[in-house]
Structure 1
Amino acid sequence: MELRHLRYFVAAAEELNITQAAVRLNVSQPPLSRQIRDLEEEIGVALFERRGNKLKLTNAGARFLEEAKKILLHTSRAAHLAKATAAGQAGQLRIAFLSPLGGMFLPQVIRSLRKKFPLIDVDLLEMVPRRQLEGLLNNQVDLAFVAKVEVESASDFGFETVIEVGVQLALPPDHRLAARRKIPFAELAKERFITVRRSVAPATHDLFLRVCRSAGIEPIVVKQADRAQSILDLVAAGVGVALLPEHIRRYQTELVWRPVVPRPPHIPICMVWRKDDSSQALRIVRKMILQHFRRASQSSLTRKT
């Protein structure tokens, strides 16, 4: 049984006239009649009662019509999805991120994506940086967002910077330095620091140490945490202070944030993917994300001028 048999049968069943069905299918009548008889012989039941060119469905034919339409519909959808997937207009993408970065752009990007490409399904996975990169390598993640220092020496990944974020010091409101507008690194020599756990983001952790040492202090690290929210909670509790990317201010409003001098370099945040991933849908999403950040950057420059 071939799809052609089903298409011929459905046309004949809907027209209930072999001549009209042949016209609809743009085929001659004898081959159409022969194909339907072949189908009946293969199934082993009569699908039509025939009266000249006029047809009437048998009970078996009526039931077969329901299923034949479903098969043709599913086949058509499968072909459409295959073509759309090859063109990058369908598929599934798993995007990993660490809050609050994802909230800065993913809702807007996914909203635009759903309007333009409704057949691309996106799953959002919140993960710490090391877990994101492991997910990429294990084919459990398609796109990740981590600091550039975490991936710039890796050979398995492609990456592109989407944003560069400044670094500020987070302090509890009653801290002795909270009233300062800017805080020299020298004033932090005896402060207790809370940092990201090295096992979670080793390169970012080491970057923090290098920044402090290049400013002339050896940081006293008293606590390490997996996530930004945990670091901020510890700062709010008075356990210590933290040097953090300034976009993390979205989490905690009651803390005091101050620039430090000399000012640390900005931290490039990259979107990261496997070099061997040829997904067209992934390329489309990467392009949309870059466009989003470029528009945001241009808008920011416009406001400043």
Structure 2
Amino acid sequence: MDLRHLRYIVAAARNGSFSAAANEFNARQPIVSKRIKEVEDELGVRLFERSTAGARLTLLGEDFVVDARRVLDETEHMARHAKASRAGTLGHVVVGFYKSLSAGAFRAAVSCFRKQNPDIDIELVELPFADIAAGVISGALDAAIVLGDAGKCAMFKTIGLWSEHLVIALPKDHPLADKPIVYWPDLRGERFLVTVRDPGPDTRSTRRRNAGLPGR
């Protein structure tokens, strides 16, 4: 007994006729009758009462068709699930990120992705960069969203997602406070407060790279 047998039986039950079931599958009626008889012989029961008017389920046949429909539905579900997983439209993804990325473009991107891919479950894990790197290497994380230069992720394949402007907070009476744009050279000699944890190290690296400013 295989799925083809079950499909023939369910179709015959639905149509009340072996001929109609054969037409549904573009098959010859004797073939459908033979396949259904094979199942009856294998089980040792009669599933249909045959007559010149068609085919009617027996009581045992009615119970069998209920189970057959469930098997076919579950098989179809498994097939769709496998195809969706292969196509990348179904599954579970664990993504590491910095807390500082929990708003703005990152939050908007995650929200958009979830709307476009409702069958993919995204688990977001907040971690410092060292733990993010270790998680990607070990396989605990499927991907990570990080700030700064791709160079520090040389051991991974990286893709640029978006760029953001840095914003500097200044006292109202600071000489640079009225400038619409502040350039890195303008900040020479200024004292900065940056976090010890991520993304503080990225901020210090950006300062050194763009203006040769000390990394304190």
TM bracket (short chain): 0.7 to 0.9
Per the alignment, residue 184 of structure 2 pairs with: none
Unpaired runs of 5+ residues, structure 1, are 171-176, 220-305
Per the alignment, residue 42 of structure 2 pairs with: 42
Q: How far has the Cα of 1:55 moved from its partner?
A: 2.2
Per the alignment, residue 4 of structure 1 pairs with: 4
Q: How far has the Cα of 1:3 moved from its partner?
A: 1.0
Contact 1:136 1:144 in 2 (8 A): yes
Residue identity in the other structure for 1:168: I
Higher strand share: 1
| Counterpart among 186, 189, 192 of residue 186 in structure 1 | 189
User: d(CA) in 1 for partners of 2:133 and 2:29?
Assistant: 62
Q: TM-score, normalised by structure 2?
A: 0.74
Structure 1 residues 113 and 161, CA gap change in structure 2 (3 angstroms): closer
Unpaired runs of 5+ residues, structure 2, are 178-186
Aligned-partner SS, 1:49? strand
Contact 1:18 1:53 in 2 (8 A): no
Per the alignment, residue 204 of structure 1 pairs with: 202
Q: TM-score, normalised by structure 1?
A: 0.56
What pairs up with 1:1-305 in 2 under 5 angstroms?
A: 1-52=1-52, 54-149=54-149, 151-152=151-152, 154-166=154-166, 168=168, 179-182=173-176, 186=189, 188=191, 193=193, 195-197=195-197, 204=202, 207=205, 210=208, 214-215=212-213, 219=216
User: d(CA) in 2 for partners of 1:128 and 1:36?
Assistant: 63
Structure 1 residues 77 and 56, CA gap change in structure 2 (3 angstroms): same
User: d(CA) in 2 for partners of 1:87 and 1:101?
Assistant: 28
Contact 1:196 1:205 in 2 (8 A): no
Query: RMSD in angstroms over aligned alpha carbons?
Result: 3.4
Comparing 100-109 with 128-137, which one deviates more in the overlay? 100-109
Number of residue-to-residue matches in the alignment:
207
User: d(CA) in 1 for partners of 2:119 and 2:133?
Assistant: 26
Deviations 1:140-180 (A, max 9, x none): 2222111234753522333325214426358xxxxxx6742
Query: Which ranges of 4 or more aligned residues in structure 1 deviate by more than 4 Å?
Result: 200-203, 208-211
Q: How far has the Cα of 1:82 moved from its partner?
A: 2.8
Contact 2:98 2:128 in 1 (8 A): yes
